[in-house]
Amino acid sequence: MKRVVILGSTGSIGEQALDVIRKNPSQFQVVGLVAGSNAERVREQADEFSVEHTGLGADDAAKLVRDVPADVVLNGITGSIGLGPTIAALKAGRTLALANKESLIVGGELVKGLAAPGQIVPVDSEHSAIAQALRSGKQDEVRRLVLTASGGPFRGRDRSALAAVTPEEALAHPTWDMGRMVTTNSATLVNKGLEVIEAHLLFGVSYGDIDVVVHPQSIVHSMVEFIDGSTIAQASPPDMRLPIALGLNWPARLPNVGVPLDWSKAQSWDFEPLDDEAFPAVELAKEVGRAGRTFPAVYNAANEEAVHAFHDGRIGFLDIVDTVHDVLEAHQAPEKLTLEGLAEAETWARARAQKAIAARE
């Protein structure tokens, strides 16, 4: 039986993880729960699963990870505040089921340097798909990774048609039910840009060999192309319980986690090239990833500020990525990546983004 700590337990990832555990009581014991602020829901979860150790916020999360013996820590926190708990989990020797992509992206080589081989198990559906497909060959047989993107609510629109979209439209994702930040990032494709950086860090594949293709059905979650011309794709209906279950129990699968595809019914899957002019966030992320150091942290922090400003009605939809670009243009990264440097870069990026936002109002 695996002892599990869930960070972000009241969010979408956390609730679905508890659903997986609820259906597999002989496989897991929940020993710790941490949420952002929903104390009442944490108490309800703790009562149901007989959990003694609970907390609120990133500081409690890091402390609980250090203090409570666990086999697996599921980091489902949203945003770069998940970096501290990620570092704590790795230092404590826990298997890290990582849904908080920002902590790896921002922490970069600092996080990778702490992780033992196989200690980080991806929970994002795209990276879980790649991890599954990679089991079909050796590392030196991989030609490229292909991340799929739903295209979000604005798939097919050109740049001019995006100028007047509203926050309500940006939150109307056609496939996934996510929080405000992640859903907006999916609409701008910033989320896919972050996932490209995450894929590079997780799997050691160069940015030139990581592609993004638009797949509106969200059935094929990502693919690996091998040097012999074979492409291995992982396909399943869009349900996060499958990658969550694999993250908790990797590399073994759990029974009856999701509903399989119905091959008795006719269906079509579409794949389209990404429109980089309308959605420049992915190419910008590749530039940021190649630059490394504190640039990914600045990309992420500036984007978070811009997304909040968009939902507050201060800037338009296209201004989100344009603001991120402006902040990155002004950034001067230190030669060496340190935790102190990351904190300073994030603080600077948020302040610089606010200036850029004010100039656009």
Q: What is the DSSP string of 92-106?
A: TT-EEEE--HHHHHH
Class of domain 292-361: mainly alpha
pLDDT of residue 146: 98
* 52 CB-near residues (< 8 Å, 6+ apart): 31, 46
Domain range list for the chain = 2-123+240-249, 126-237+261-280, 292-361
Q: What is the pLDDT of residues 261-296, one digit of tens each?
A: 999 999 999 999 999 999 999 999 999 999 999 999
DSSP class of residue 213?
E
| Topology of domain 2-123+240-249, CATH | Rossmann fold (3.40.50)
What is the pLDDT, as a whole number, of residue 268? 96
Residue 177 pLDDT level (bands cut at 50, 70, 90): low
List, for residues 180-235, the tens digit of each pLDDT value.
Answer: 898 999 999 999 999 999 999 999 999 999 999 999 999 999 999 999 999 999 99
- pLDDT at position 179 is 78
Structure tokens at 216: 């509106």
pTM of the predicted protein model: 0.95
Strands 95-98 and 28-35: unpaired
Asked if pLDDT for residue 178 goes beyond 80, the answer is: no
Dump pLDDT digits (tens) for 234-252: 999 999 999 999 999 999 9
Q: What's residue 79's pLDDT?
A: 86
Under 8 Å between Cβ of 334 and 341: yes
Residues 311-324: tens digit of each pLDDT: 999 999 999 999 99
Which spans in the chain are helix H? 12-22, 39-49, 57-67, 83-91, 101-114, 125-134, 167-170, 180-188, 190-203, 241-249, 281-291, 295-311, 318-330, 339-360
Nearest CA to 212 among 286, 298, 104? 286
DSSP for 56-121 reads: EHHHHHHHHHHHS--SEEEE---SGGGHHHHHHHHHTT-EEEE--HHHHHHHHHHHHHHPPTT-EE
